Chain A
Amino acid sequence: MNEPRVGVYVCNCGTNIAKMVDCDGVAEFASSLPGVVVARSYKYMCSNPGQEMIVQDIEQHDLERVVVAACSPRMHEATFRRALETAGLNPYLIEMANIREQCSWVHSDPVGATDKAKALVHAAVNRVIRHEPLERMSVDMCPNTLVIGGGIAGMTAALELADAGKRVYLVERLAKLGGNVARVDLTAPYLDSARDIITFLVTRVTEHDNIEVMTESTVEGLDGFVGNFKAAINCKGDPGVEVDVGSVVVCTGYKEFDAARITHYGYGKLPNVITSFELEHMLREGRIETKEGKAPQYVAIVHCVGSRSEEYHSYCSRVCCMTALKYAHEIKSALPGSYVSDVYVDMHAFGKGCEDFYRRSSEVKTLFLMYGRGEHPVIRKAAAGDDCDMLIEVNEKLSGETVEIPADLVVLMVGMEPRDDVHDVAHLVSISTDKDGWFIESHPKLDPVATTTDGIYIAGACQAPKDIPDTVAQARAAAARILAKVARGKLVIDAVYAEVDEDRCSGCRVCNELCPYVAIEYDEEKRRSHVISALCKACGACVAACPSGAIKARHFTDEQIFAEIEGVLE
């Protein structure tokens, strides 16, 4: 075989790789490998000069293959593929060796890490020599979008798309749009009405010609791929509604933590211990009262119920601190003679306008008591002679003293948690959830609204707890991502799929049943199986199962993987 000419580039990633891996040593090692005509170590391969270096070398050294040893291919494979295209090489003639996420960042022994990096580079060189130029397919991008969830995120994304003239199917499982924000009275920190926000959105959404609102509906199935999905919707009991969409935005929101799971606050036992959403309900009704129908004189607000705890959720629910301050304002203005105490762990006032809001709350004479993380205030029924319903004992951290405060109403700031159906939704649209159950974004910083499945986007609190401004920003961002794709009209899809060598296929049809996408059809006349490339998602299950070795996984061929195995072990 006439070995192709390979260029190897070892990225230092500043010091991210170089501090643990001897990058110059790896490049020197690479230069000794068969086929390698140039091997370099460079500070930042993804930078413009780094990419230009590859482009120039391809031209000057007639390179036919490129290996970049750097970060994960999930991070920069697309970048380097573009560099190859710039130089006129087929973008599939590059292989990345992951020596950052899977090497320098996880090892503490420079010798072991450098040996491993060499092995990974060796494997990549072995593999890339066997790469074949692949042609990508161009398919039409359907301009319609399916939005799952009719809360503030879903409605915002739908409007952004519909205003751009695109058709949107907005599916909401309940009878009314609005989601959790529709249960809220005022919003922090500017005290504007949630009702106004929701009414405005619901009116616009329902009146919009481009939005088809489907309430009391659920998405039952989603087939196809980016640009060409077919969604099956159960619309008000009619299970047969099918729509064609190019993109999906998942905006399924959150549910509140069940306060009854924590027994020590007496929720469900002490009648005047209520949750934040129960207080919202009172505020919306314009009547704050105890179970006995009296206006409370002492109201205590307890933070971090179910959040930031070892036992329940380790994360911060982000909105509760400011919501608690909002309650202090609302209660003080509704019941001017009342005393509000705020029992917190840490006050998280990170958003725009929030620190000022915290200061103003201190000025309206809210009593702030700080308790320690891992501890909890103790609530008990007051004695008959006391002028209050309950007493709360707090080990106050700032004073170092144990204090007891009176309360007629205790409000538990329940955190956010993933909805019970997250795994069903994740499965439906082929995305993942993190350890807590929130949907995982494509990249936490660089790509926070896309997911690892092309064409599926996430917005709002289904991704992680967030407030209204962040939710709206994310919803509009998701819409913008979709519009950018729709504007191009055509979509280039990955050239990685399976294909059957008809000369080797025995027509046994083992693969037909295995394919989860029904992408393999059997030609009765030829007695051969055939892969419909547009439907194939490249899992390779059929490839491994074919008894004749007749199916090839493009870009993941047996030959390429064998070469990699030899490379890592040489």
Chain B
Amino acid sequence: MTFEPRIVGFLCNWCSYTGADLAGTSRINYQPNVRIIRVMCSARIDPTFVMKALAEGADGVLVCGCHPGDCHYTEGNYKAMRRYPLLKRLLSDYGIEEERFRLEWVSASEGKRFADIVDDMTERLRELGPSRVKAALATDAAER
């Protein structure tokens, strides 16, 4: 049986969650590997959410917000945009492959784009294999 990655998706309420809903109303088929958690704005996504998801066994974390300039809250997505490289670097210092964390802009009209992103991320994670974060944390805890 092939490995099926589990992806946690944090989507902003106004653009990306609506875009994901549009993929549904347009019946655009994509891989069932993503589990979506709705937040009001991508700026709400605390880096600990991403860490928590990886620690709980997610093979990948996807963050989606409105396109730059289109944020419902004027500039929240810029905050997400600035946090992203910092967190990405931190994760890479921990040895977590960069394919496991992704930030994408998805507008309310981009159902197809959302579906394509999920398919692409699923495919990449299938190739990459399961995340070792949860197991490593368990070993670490046992050794202590």
Contact = CB atoms under 8 A, between A and B. Distances in A.
Interface of A: 72-74, 98, 100-103, 105-109, 112-113, 115-116, 119-120, 123, 423, 426-427, 430, 432-435, 440, 452-453, 496, 514, 516-517, 537-541, 543-545, 553, 556, 558, 561-562, 564-566, 568-569
B70 A569 contact: no
Interface in B1-54: 4, 6, 8, 14-15, 17-18, 20-21, 23-25, 27-33, 35-41, 43-49, 52-53
18 contacts: A102-B21, A105-B27, A106-B115, A109-B32, A113-B32, A120-B35, A430-B72, A430-B74, A432-B14, A453-B72, A496-B40, A539-B72, A539-B73, A540-B44, A541-B41, A543-B46, A565-B52, A569-B57
Given A107-B30, A433-B109, A568-B35, A539 B40 contact: yes
Contacts of B8: 565, 568-569
A565 B109 contact: no
Contacts of A426: 70
A427 B43 CA distance: 18
A115 B39 CA distance: 23
Given A105-B24, A558-B48, A568-B8, A73 B73 contact: no
Given A452-B14, A561-B37, A543 B25 contact: no
A496 B23 CA distance: 27
A259 B39 CA distance: 44
Contact of B32 (A101, A107, A517): A107
Contact of A106 (B18, B24, B40, B107): B24
A106 B28 contact: yes
Given A105-B24, A453-B72, A540-B43, 17 more contacts: A106-B23, A106-B28, A106-B30, A107-B32, A113-B32, A116-B35, A119-B35, A432-B108, A435-B109, A452-B18, A539-B72, A543-B44, A562-B49, A562-B52, A565-B56, A569-B53, A569-B56
B39 A561 contact: yes
A539 B107 contact: no
Contacts of A517: 73
Interface centre among B15, B24, B29, B30 (most CB of A within 10 A): B24
Contacts of B17: 74
B116 interface: no
B56 A423 contact: no
B58 A569 contact: yes
Classify chain B's interface size: 35 or more
Contacts of A453: 72
Given A101-B24, A107-B30, A545-B79, A569 B41 contact: no
Interface of B: 4, 6, 8, 14-15, 17-18, 20-21, 23-25, 27-33, 35-41, 43-49, 52-53, 56-58, 69-70, 72-76, 79, 83, 107-110, 115
A103 B34 CA distance: 10
A98 B57 CA distance: 22
A106 B29 contact: yes
Nearest to A122: B35
Nearest to B6: A569
A106 B118 CA distance: 11
B24 A558 contact: no
Contact of B79 (A120, A434, A541): A541
Nearest to A566: B56
A388 to B, nearest CB: 45
A558 B46 contact: yes
Given A556-B40, A566-B56, A544 B18 contact: no
Contacts of A119: 35
A77 B110 CA distance: 23
Contacts of B31: 107, 112
B100 to A, nearest CB: 14
B39 to A, nearest CB: 6
A5 B7 CA distance: 30
Contacts of A564: 37
Nearest to A433: B109
B36 A98 contact: yes
Nearest to B39: A556
A564 B115 CA distance: 22
